[in-house]
Chain A
């Protein structure tokens, strides 16, 4: 198997896609949003529970590829326990790393670093970012907030 392809489909990503963390709906979420990628028909719903300013819980339901499911799985693990402000910062850094022209500095989080392989596959970057965009919309309020990659 070629090196670049193994960079994209690292074992840690395949593991998250096979057994995603925090998969399934959340009862009485304080926020939820649905994300769509109209190009491929992928859909994700992100649910969050805010305790004051802190993200007490985050879960998701997705019909998507290995990259988007792994990204959602890692994301929910990372943002749990963060404040809304911290989560926003993490989101911006993640997006910045994926879309920056220059090679990004290393991300401290080893798991997220595994997703950086997607940088070599421009058509797949949206797969990795869709859960994060949807999460941002879920932070936006208690109603249903839909986002789309297009």
Chain B
């Protein structure tokens, strides 16, 4: 069933226990990876192993288990550092997810750097989590939000972006890959142009890291965030990368344990990076299991994964383009493995319910990206998003399912 002779699809599928689950007696066809990816045994086993053999609170106890847990957690930080090619491990901050990472930067960096009339540049492609935190800080500081448009294919308009920038631009916060359309944003150009204008750049990498290798130093990204659960790791854990100079200059986001140097009621001094931004006991087992997910991806190879998913996207696009009734939403030249579409005027929720009856899991709705839906004048779309374990046969199952939807609504 392989799509690529060298890609070990059968072995990979066998390593994800949930893929052998049945949905109403039918095999699960999981095409909702953009919302959250399934977990390989390596990640599931690591969580069990942590709690069974190396668990205690971290960075606190003098005892054996605390040291063991601390070592395992810090080893995971080094894995994330290598995964993003960050210069220093202290530039890797563990957060609950990309949402918390963006809120941290908007709040901490924003409060200390934004003034009335300053401008924050976002794009139409953003997920709500990269819009709302900026609206909150803009309201508090008097900063103004500018929005980069997209064309009818869903392509980020670099020329329009460049026109929006000015000496007033302080922050550019854009997605690396659109979650609703799959558009890959030319982030290297975005960052270069922002830096020429003296602005700082945050990239939302949630949909990028599962599909492509990322080098924050080569990109010269100032901040980069992603969520563990979309990267085949646990939910409730994510990463904020920030350049050390920027993070050092920022005030703490939350106060609590672990983030302090010394506390008195007169004055508290804060811990060094990364702990300044990691108040409270973190999701220890989740962090260690995120490290296991990264090991797992490296074992297959990000380039091999990207090639496999690209093949699936091309195949799915070709098959759906051949159906008269299908309107694909988002046809940018550079896309990750996300296919958003509508079937005539049939509402995506009706499509989703009928596909679910065949065991096919897709996302239906606005994908937390209502400005994108408004741009294409649709209330919602059906979204198939592919992961490293999907197959061409599953694309065929989707096409069969779409045909059944059409029969029902004929």
What 0/1 pattern do residues 321 to 359 of B give for CB contact below 8 A with A?
A: 000000000000000000000000011111001100100
B348 CB to closest chain A CB (Å) equals: 8
Bound together, the chains give a CA A121 to CA B350 distance in angstroms of 11
Is B51 among interface residues, defined by CB-CB distance under 8 A? Answer: no
Is A14 among interface residues, defined by CB-CB distance under 8 A? Answer: yes
Option from A8, A9, A41, A64 in Cβ contact (under 8 Å) with B366: A41
Main DSSP-derived SS at the A contact region? mixed
Q: Is the Cβ of A65 less than 8 Å from the Cβ of B347? A: yes
Is A42 among interface residues, defined by CB-CB distance under 8 A? Answer: yes
Is B404 among interface residues, defined by CB-CB distance under 8 A? Answer: yes
Complex interface: chain B residues within 8 A of A8 (CB): 353
Main DSSP-derived SS at the B contact region? helix
Bound together, the chains give a CA A40 to CA B350 distance in angstroms of 11
Q: Is the Cβ of A124 less than 8 Å from the Cβ of B380? A: no
Q: Is the Cβ of B349 less than 8 Å from the Cβ of A127? A: yes
Complex interface: chain A residues within 8 A of B408 (CB): 1, 5, 9, 14
Within 8 A of A (CB), among B159-206: none
Q: Is the Cβ of B373 less than 8 Å from the Cβ of A41? A: yes
Option from A2, A63, A66 in Cβ contact (under 8 Å) with B350: A66
Complex interface: chain B residues within 8 A of A41 (CB): 365-366, 370, 373, 379-380
B313 CB to closest chain A CB (Å) equals: 25
B88 CB to closest chain A CB (Å) equals: 41
Q: Is the Cβ of B347 less than 8 Å from the Cβ of A1? A: no
Is B64 among interface residues, defined by CB-CB distance under 8 A? Answer: no
Is B385 among interface residues, defined by CB-CB distance under 8 A? Answer: no
Is A87 among interface residues, defined by CB-CB distance under 8 A? Answer: no
Complex interface: chain A residues within 8 A of B379 (CB): 40-43, 63-64
Complex interface: chain A residues within 8 A of B349 (CB): 40, 42, 65, 67, 124, 127
Complex interface: chain B residues within 8 A of A123 (CB): 353
A43 CB to closest chain B CB (Å) equals: 8
Bound together, the chains give a CA A63 to CA B380 distance in angstroms of 10
A149 CB to closest chain B CB (Å) equals: 13
Identity of the chain A residue whose Cβ is nearest the Cβ of B364 in the assembled complex: A40
> Total number of A-B contacts with CB less than 8 angstroms?
52
What 0/1 pattern do residues 31 to 51 of A give for CB contact below 8 A with B?
A: 000000001111100000000
Complex interface: chain B residues within 8 A of A2 (CB): 24, 357
Complex interface: chain B residues within 8 A of A66 (CB): 346-347, 350, 409
Size range of the chain A interface in the assembly: 20 to 34
A5-B354, A121-B353 in contact; A39/B365 too (CB < 8 A)? Answer: yes
Bound together, the chains give a CA A66 to CA B262 distance in angstroms of 61
What 0/1 pattern do residues 301 to 334 of B give for CB contact below 8 A with A?
A: 0000000000000000000000000000000000
Within 8 A of A (CB), among B349-396: 349-350, 353-354, 357, 364-366, 370, 373, 379-380
A40-B365, A63-B379, A65-B347 in contact; A14/B409 too (CB < 8 A)? Answer: yes
A64 CB to closest chain B CB (Å) equals: 7
Q: Is the Cβ of B350 less than 8 Å from the Cβ of A67? A: yes
Within 8 A of A (CB), among B45-83: none
Q: Is the Cβ of A124 less than 8 Å from the Cβ of B365? A: no
Complex interface: chain A residues within 8 A of B364 (CB): 40
Complex interface: chain A residues within 8 A of B348 (CB): 40, 65
Q: Is the Cβ of B404 less than 8 Å from the Cβ of A1? A: yes
Complex interface: chain A residues within 8 A of B346 (CB): 66
Complex interface: chain B residues within 8 A of A121 (CB): 353
Complex interface: chain A residues within 8 A of B370 (CB): 41
Bound together, the chains give a CA A124 to CA B347 distance in angstroms of 13
Within 8 A of B (CB), among A19-63: 39-43, 63
Bound together, the chains give a CA A106 to CA B374 distance in angstroms of 41
Bound together, the chains give a CA A9 to CA B373 distance in angstroms of 26
Q: Is the Cβ of A40 less than 8 Å from the Cβ of B380? A: yes
Complex interface: chain A residues within 8 A of B409 (CB): 14, 66
What 0/1 pattern do residues 1 to 14 of A give for CB contact below 8 A with B?
A: 11011001100001
Bound together, the chains give a CA A129 to CA B219 distance in angstroms of 49
Most buried by B among A5, A8, A41: A41
Complex interface: chain A residues within 8 A of B373 (CB): 41
Complex interface: chain A residues within 8 A of B350 (CB): 9, 65-67
A residues lining the B interface (CB < 8 Å)? 1-2, 4-5, 8-9, 14, 39-43, 63-67, 121, 123-124, 127
Which 10 interchain pairs have the tightest Cβ spacing?
A: A65-B347, A65-B349, A41-B366, A40-B365, A66-B350, A63-B379, A41-B379, A65-B350, A5-B357, A41-B380
| 6 pairs, CB–CB < 8 Å, chain A vs chain B | A1-B404, A65-B347, A65-B349, A67-B349, A67-B350, A127-B349
Since A9-B408, A40-B348 are in contact, a sample of 12 more A-B pairs with Cβ atoms closer than 8 Å, ordered by chain A residue number, is: A4-B357, A5-B408, A39-B365, A40-B379, A41-B366, A42-B349, A65-B348, A65-B349, A66-B347, A67-B349, A124-B349, A124-B353
